[in-house]
Structure 1
Amino acid sequence: MTDAEKLKMVKAMTGETDEDTLSTYLSIAGNKVCRRAYPFDPTVTAVPDQYAHIQVEIAVYLLNKRGAEGQTTHSENGIFRSYEDGDVPPTLLRDIVPFAAVMGG
């Protein structure tokens, strides 16, 4: 999936139109995906294509909780909010399989 396709998806899912904002959140989400997929190799910065949709979902999640980061509960006028985690919920990260290799000796 191209970066333009990712931007289009996030825009459609959130209603956000500022491309700088969208790119920033996609970059943050991509970093989280890469750190999860390659926990021992910080040089990997390109999101593997099989995780492109997860990157989009994480970006959307982060955009949608702006202004309420880390919120654990909130109730007001019949609206109730609670977040699974202060960061990206484990349910969004569970499909990312960490890459591992055997080291020779």
Structure 2
Amino acid sequence: MRCARLVLAVVVVSSTGCSALIASRGQDLSELTTKKVVHATFAKSVVRYGEGCPYDEFRTHRKISENWRCEYLAMAGVCTLGLAEFVNVPCELFRAV
């Protein structure tokens, strides 16, 4: 019984933060500063609007980094002492795949 508690404690502590790490991986859109860099990264746009319109639409299957989600996932992991990771990691893996 004592060994099982120790193993559970090690697993819980070692898994803390994995869901936040998964959410932060991918293409970071804040690095794309100019229109030329965006076109070089995502190739051609799906819908290209005229000169008066300030944006183009792109379609991609890449993982986009969600840095805002990292904070919420990390808070949930800390508040539940890592137990939220048992739910959050499979959910984030499902979203990533």
Q: TM-score, normalised by structure 2?
A: 0.26
Q: Which has the larger radius of gyration?
A: 2
User: Relative to total residues, which structure has the larger strand share, 1 or 2?
Assistant: 1
Q: Taking CA–CA contacts closer than 8 Å with sequence separation of 6 or more, which of the two structures ends up with the larger relative contact order?
A: 2
